[in-house]
Amino acid sequence: MATVTLTGAKGRQIQGTTLYPIFKSLLLTQLVPTGLFINNEFTPASTNETLTIENPSTGTPLATVSSASPADIDRAVHCATQALPAWKATPGAVRGALLHKLADLIERDAEDFASIEALEGGMLYTDSKGMSMPQAISTLRYYAGWADKIDGKTLHLPDGGVGYTFREPLGVCAAIVPWNAPLMITIWKLAPALTTGNCLLIKPSELTPLSALKLALLIREAGFPAGTVAILPGDGPQAGNALSLHPQIRKLSFTGSTATGRAILRASASSNLKRVSLELGGKGPSIVFSDCDLANALLWTRIGITANNGQICAAGSRIYVQRGIYNKFLEEYARLSAEEKPVVGDPLDERTTKGPVSSAAQLQKILGYVEEGKKKNGVRVLFGGERIGEKGYFVQNTAFADVGQGERMMKEEIFGPVACIAPFDTEEEAIALANDTAHGLSAAIFTNDVNRAHRVTAGIESGQVTVNAWAMLAANMPFGGVKESGFGRDMGEEALEGWTTVKAVKYNILPPAAKL
């Protein structure tokens, strides 16, 4: 088995067979396989093609992993098809116990996962370990509890017959996962898929496959049957397209860009009409009313655009502030952001509060929007707007004030730490501004008026709305969008519907047989 030795923040020391240098090594040496995970074994790609993984803190190569070809996808589908009957027949309580075991193992190795996510994706070690890992673990435990409780209905039919329904797994399914929170979002797909009896092929992002390969080790250690889960690093045009078009895959769950979501829908239509769930881009509004707790609103609107460098689909990138407090909000927003004095550096270092964005391409995309914003008449740079240093992919937290509703930066998802702030006057105007977007994933409002909170949450076109906070992810709360932010839900009871199909059984009640 080819392996890569990663050096991270804390933990055990394990010797690998293929060494790649990582700068600023601390206390952890973590062994991660580099092959495709098919049928509970790690294997090179059939074409021997590879992906080079980069460390965004340094811009230097970090690791090389196998890249799946369409033939590898076929093999993984075949193994999953062979495993499906036994997995489907496995009692729910047994599937739940396996999910609990996997949660235990992730909890045991949380430091390892946090180190890997910092190295390959630039997420702060402290954020990964303190937020992403607990969220992944709680999601596994939540769906483990559902495994033996997925029931149907008993019905009385109009003609006097009786019927009942039950939910069946869809079969062999697939998930394509993004780079911004790789383990957490992988678990959002894996937990409900497996608890309902499906087999699952997972394609991690080509930027961040290492956490998924580490997860594969734990899937095998937990005791999941061979073929139940495959981990298939690869690029979109080959591996992603092969999953989208495969005639034996019954569902594909995707989190990523709207453009890729459209391509997946087209592939489904042109192949086997596989079920598709899409969690796509966002351009989340945060609406700050004059009657809010201003300190609380300032806290959450800053977190909502700087968490993970704004590389979150639910980021609160549009901030609308009622005119009566607009100038005060801008003054305090700038002051508090300056006082934070983020510690820029290696995301593995627990003292670091600002790591890099994910890649050179992402950095250039963000800087392109920023430079365009600086040239707009009437738009003010409140703070930030520059690259940090020349090594790695670091960019300042940035805010623009007085941004017009028609500006590109107010319309398009930047996926970086760039806030666009504008005033509004009335509640009706705030709702109209919030809804003036192609997206509808997440929104936040800040008000101490409970009646207003009810009115505005009802008026906003969004899959989720938070009141007096931002994000508030929880395993028992569904997450997903409307409009061009997609359809289908991760998490919550609602996600179970997306991984099952309903079968209806009807009985004709015959009269007693006539006596001879």
Q: Where are the alpha helices (DSSP H) in 23-109?
A: 70-89, 92-108
CATH dotted code for 285-474: 3.40.309.10
**pLDDT the model gives residue 273:** 98
CA nearest neighbour of 257 among 231, 242, 279: 279
Looking at residue 513, its pLDDT comes to 80
Of all residues in the chain, the percent with pLDDT exceeding 70 is 93
Q: Are 310 and 344 contacting, i.e. CB atoms less than 8 angstroms apart?
A: no
How confident is residue 8, by pLDDT bands cut at 50, 70 and 90?
very low
* Phi (first) and psi of residue 79, to 5 degrees: -65, -40
Integer CA distances (angstroms), 206 to 67, 167, 178, 242, in order: 9, 34, 9, 15
Q: Which of 19-28, 37-46, 318-327 has the lowest mean pLDDT?
A: 19-28
pLDDT, position 160: 87
User: 32: Cβ–Cβ under 8 A, 6 or more apart, which residues?
Assistant: 3, 4, 6, 16, 63, 116, 210, 213, 214, 217
Query: What residue segments make up the domains of the chain, in order of their start?
Result: 20-280+495-502, 285-474
Helix, strand or coil, per DSSP, at residue 324: helix
Residue 511: pLDDT band (50, 70, 90) is confident
State the Cα–Cα distance between residues 422 and 326, nearest whole angstrom. Answer: 8
| pLDDT tier, 24 (very low <50, low <70, confident <90, very high otherwise) | very low
Domain made up of 20-280+495-502: CATH architecture: 3-Layer(aba) Sandwich (3.40)
pTM of this structure: 0.93
Catalytic site positions: 279, 313
Q: How confident is the model at residue 12 (pLDDT cuts 50, 70, 90)?
A: very low
Tell me how far apart the 2 most distant CA atoms of the chain are, in Å.
97
Average pLDDT over the chain, rounded to whole? Answer: 93
What's the confidence (pLDDT) of residue 5? Answer: 52
227-242 residue pLDDT tens: 999 999 999 999 999 9
Quote the distance between the C-alpha of residue 14 and its chain's center: 29
- pLDDT score of 281: 93
Confidence category of residue 181, pLDDT binned at 50, 70, 90: very high
Rounded distance, CA 250 to CA 230, Å?
15
Say what the pLDDT of residue 515 is.
63
Asked if the model's pLDDT at residue 411 lies above 70, the reply is yes
